[in-house]
Amino acid sequence: MKKEALDTLEIEELKKGYSYNDETLSYECIICGKKFKQGFIYKLKEGKGSCIAEKAVQIHMMEDHNGTLDFLLDLDKRDNGLNDIQKKLLKEFSLLKKDKDIADKTDLSLTNIRNHRYRLRERYRQDKVFLAIMELVEMNLKRDTNLVKLSGKSIPQDDRSVITKKEETEALKKFFDSEGKILNFPKKQKKKLIILNRIINDFESGKSYSEKEVNEILKNRYFDFVTLRRYMIDYGFLRRNENGTDYRVKE
Whether 133 and 189 map to the same domain: the answer is no
Whether 135 and 168 map to the same domain: the answer is no
With respect to residue 152, please indicate whether it lies within any of the assigned structural domains. no
Q: What is the pLDDT of residues 186-205, one digit of tens each?
A: 989 999 999 999 999 999 99
Last residue of a domain, one of 144, 172, 197: 144
DSSP-H helix ranges across the chain: 5-8, 11-16, 53-65, 69-73, 77-80, 84-94, 99-105, 110-143, 165-175, 189-199, 211-219, 225-234
With respect to residue 114, please indicate whether it lies within any of the assigned structural domains. yes
Mean pLDDT of 12-33: 92
pLDDT (0 to 100) of residue 186: 92
pLDDT (0 to 100) of residue 4: 56
With respect to residue 4, please indicate whether it lies within any of the assigned structural domains. yes
Last residue of a domain, one of 75, 109, 124: 75
pLDDT (0 to 100) of residue 242: 87
Question: In this predicted model, which residue has the larger pLDDT, 60 or 140?
Answer: 60
Q: What is the pLDDT of residues 123-153, one digit of tens each?
A: 999 999 999 898 888 777 666 567 888 999 9
Provide the domain limits for residue 37.
1-75
pLDDT (0 to 100) of residue 238: 95
Whether 70 and 92 map to the same domain: the answer is no
Whether 8 and 37 map to the same domain: the answer is yes
pLDDT (0 to 100) of residue 195: 96
Give the C-alpha separation, 111 to 103, whole Å. 9
Whether 119 and 199 map to the same domain: the answer is no
Whether 70 and 93 map to the same domain: the answer is no
With respect to residue 154, please indicate whether it lies within any of the assigned structural domains. no
Out of 122-136, 137-151, 208-222, 237-251, pick the least confident: 137-151
Say whether 223 sits in a helix, a strand or coil: coil
With respect to residue 150, please indicate whether it lies within any of the assigned structural domains. no
In the predicted model, is pLDDT for residue 3 greater than 90?
no
Say whether 20 sits in a helix, a strand or coil: strand
Whether 103 and 58 map to the same domain: the answer is no
Report the greatest alpha carbon distance in the chain.
75
pLDDT (0 to 100) of residue 198: 96
In the predicted model, is pLDDT for residue 246 greater than 70?
yes
With respect to residue 16, please indicate whether it lies within any of the assigned structural domains. yes
With respect to residue 153, please indicate whether it lies within any of the assigned structural domains. no
Last residue of a domain, one of 44, 75, 106: 75
Whether 7 and 89 map to the same domain: the answer is no
Whether 114 and 57 map to the same domain: the answer is no
Q: Number of folded domains in the chain?
A: 3
Burial classification of residue 206, based on how many CB atoms lie within 10 Å of its CB (0-12 exposed, 13-18 middle, 19 or more buried): exposed
Whether 87 and 134 map to the same domain: the answer is yes
Question: In this predicted model, which residue has the larger pLDDT, 135 or 224?
Answer: 224
Q: Residues of the chain with pLDDT > 90: what percent?
A: 75
pLDDT (0 to 100) of residue 141: 67
Question: In this predicted model, which residue has the larger pLDDT, 159 or 228?
Answer: 228
Whether 4 and 61 map to the same domain: the answer is yes
In the predicted model, is pLDDT for residue 104 greater than 80?
yes
With respect to residue 190, please indicate whether it lies within any of the assigned structural domains. yes
